[in-house]
Amino acid sequence: MKILIIGASGTIGTGITGALSEKHEIITAGRSSGDLRVDITSKKSVKQLFEEAGPVDACICTATSGSMDDFGTLTEMDLLINMKGKLLGQVNIVLIGQHYLNENGCFILTSGIFADRPAKGATGGGLINGALHSFVLSAAVELQRGLRVNVVSPGIIEDSVKDSGPVFPGLRPVAMNGVVDAYVKSIESDISGNIIRVYG
Ligand SMILES: NC(=O)c1ccc[n+]([C@@H]2O[C@H](COP(=O)([O-])OP(=O)(O)OC[C@H]3O[C@@H](n4cnc5c(N)ncnc54)[C@H](OP(=O)(O)O)[C@@H]3O)[C@@H](O)[C@H]2O)c1
């Protein structure tokens, strides 16, 4: 398969790219590195990415930008900025990419554990990840030409614990292998509309 990975240079993207490149042709994309450049907050840039990539069988997105929040001072604008960087960026990848993916192609988006397990400082994360889950349920019903869409919802990954683990007491880290397997399962099976939770 020919697979476009957006956010390939990130923690999860690197793991997925390593695992999938053994069996598949990979095109990497990111804001500042990769075979192709894209800013997922821009519809124009997302469209240009699909034009440049040409026909692909799958598109994985692990790209994200955004920050933790302080509920006492959290504003609509803070939420909108984070939504643009993770929620609407990934929604646009599906809305635009549906016209470019090969028949029976597959999208895999990335959400996260805060959709289901709230943590201090992650109200925006919870809102965005929960919305991504709902989007995928609807998009799976709507997509044409045999296209599929799933979302992987990782827990805090062991590789990231040294940066963010202590911020989330009680959340048990998960192994990168388990998270990567969720993306591979989504690519190599025929499931659609699935929220694949990989929690510790
Ligand atoms: N790591 C974890 O423990 C964990 C746990 C739960 C959920 N998640 C979720 O999994 C996803 C990936 O996490 P990660 O830890 O792999 O993130 P990461 O290491 O910060 O990597 C993010 C990637 O996204 C790219 N990117 C950022 N903004 C972009 C934009 N506007 N357009 C295109 N590319 C952009 C970055 O490229 P540049 O560097 O070039 O900007 C980078 O390759 C995120 O949605 C995160 O919330 C992660």
CB 27 within 8 A of CB 53: yes
**Rounded-to-integer distance, Cα 90 and Cα 113, Å:** 17
Give the start-to-end residue ranges of the domains of the chain.
Answer: 2-198
CB 57 within 8 A of CB 1: yes
Fold category of 2-198 in CATH: Rossmann fold (3.40.50)
- Output the CA 10–ligand 1 centroid distance in Å: 5
The pLDDT score that the predictor gives to residue 39 is 98
Averaged over successive runs of 10 residues, the pLDDT of the chain (200 residues) comes to 98 97 97 98 98 98 94 98 97 98 98 96 97 98 98 94 73 95 96 97
Instruction: Name the strand (E) or helix (H) holding 107.
Output: strand 106-110
In ligand 1, the atom with minimum distance to the C-alpha of 85 is 31
What pTM value is reported for the model? 0.98
**Rounded-to-integer distance, Cα 150 and Cα 152, Å:** 7
Contacts of 59 (CB under 8 A, 6+ apart): 3, 4, 5, 6, 93, 97, 101, 105, 106, 107, 108
Using CA positions, which residue lies closest to atom 36 of ligand 1?
A: 7
Quickly count: other Cβ atoms within 10 Å of residue 130's Cβ: 17
The pLDDT score that the predictor gives to residue 164 is 64
- Output the CA 164–ligand 1 centroid distance in Å: 13
The pLDDT score that the predictor gives to residue 133 is 98
Using CA positions, which residue lies closest to atom 45 of ligand 1?
A: 64
The pLDDT score that the predictor gives to residue 198 is 98
The pLDDT score that the predictor gives to residue 166 is 64
CA neighbours closer than 13 Å in the CB half-sphere of residue 200: 16
